[in-house]
Structure 1
């Protein structure tokens, strides 16, 4: 069975431990309003985008230098018919270090081509992982310029 969940990968000269730490520092690469904590398993946090949009997460898995998983508990995406489309999905970051280069394999489990937001979310995630998170890994600053979107 083919896995259709959105996925993206990046590699950079950074330790796996630093990569997990930077992934968990969301405001630096996602450019969102953030409250809560992401540093340990069972931490909860909220991301807000604009006036009405929000995403509530729980850190369901955190293995230092290896993996972090965030469960979307609730959300409100006012720009789509199904405003709760991300609820129950998971953001998974698997990290592998080899010879000083770390690869991050990102998957948004549940974000598949058959859901309403896929086309927009695919563009968004491609930017946030390929451009902003990569920039944060390599320069210390995220890239919040979503030009071309």
Structure 2
């Protein structure tokens, strides 16, 4: 009997959070990347991130992290997907490691709660950036969680 080994999305970095805000507000905040993807590493975000094919760049850590994302998919109030089209992470042996990965947000409502599941599709434990990048994502998503639950100034 042969066993097929399939690469699954579950290996990618995933973080889910529960929010008190409705899906519409969550969706609008996520599209405003400057509000939640900043505050830790002297980030500079330029470009647009609200319509399909919009592109924005993210620069942080004194130039150690640069990436450019293209908005690939939007499903109002339920899904946002950015594809990383350029990457220069100078602290890695392979600075282009993020190219082709996706930053995905799935938004669902259950009762009076909204669940947001963030997945960096392609950020897997086998790649060099996994440790430092997943730690940074956790900080940003924790900050987002605070914003979505009214605990952020």
Q: Output the TM-score relative to the length of structure 1.
A: 0.88
Query: In structure 2, what is the equivalent of residue 92 of structure 1?
Result: 104
SS in 2 for 1:116: coil
TM superposition shift of 1:42: 1.1
Alpha-carbon contact 2:69-2:85 (below 8 Å) kept: yes
Query: Equivalences for 1:1-149 in 2 at 5 Å?
Result: 1=6, 2=8, 3-31=10-38, 32-49=43-60, 50-129=62-141, 131-139=142-150, 141=152
Partners of 2:70 and 2:151 lie apart in 1 by: 25
Task: Identify the structure with bigger relative contact order (alpha carbons < 8 Å, sequence gap 6+).
Answer: 1
Partners of 1:140 and 1:36 lie apart in 2 by: 28
Query: How many residue pairs get matched?
Result: 141
TM superposition shift of 1:37: 1.0
Q: Output the TM-score relative to the length of structure 2.
A: 0.86
Alpha-carbon contact 2:103-2:118 (below 8 Å) kept: yes
TM superposition shift of 1:9: 0.1
TM superposition shift of 1:27: 1.7
Partners of 1:119 and 1:53 lie apart in 2 by: 15
The one-character-per-residue Cα deviations of 1:60-94 (angstroms, maximum 9, x if unpaired) are 00111110000000011111111011011001100
Choose 1 or 2 for highest CA Rg. 2
Partners of 1:69 and 1:110 lie apart in 2 by: 13
Q: RMSD between aligned alpha carbons?
A: 1.5
TM superposition shift of 1:99: 2.1
Q: Which runs of 5+ in 2 are unaligned?
A: 1-5
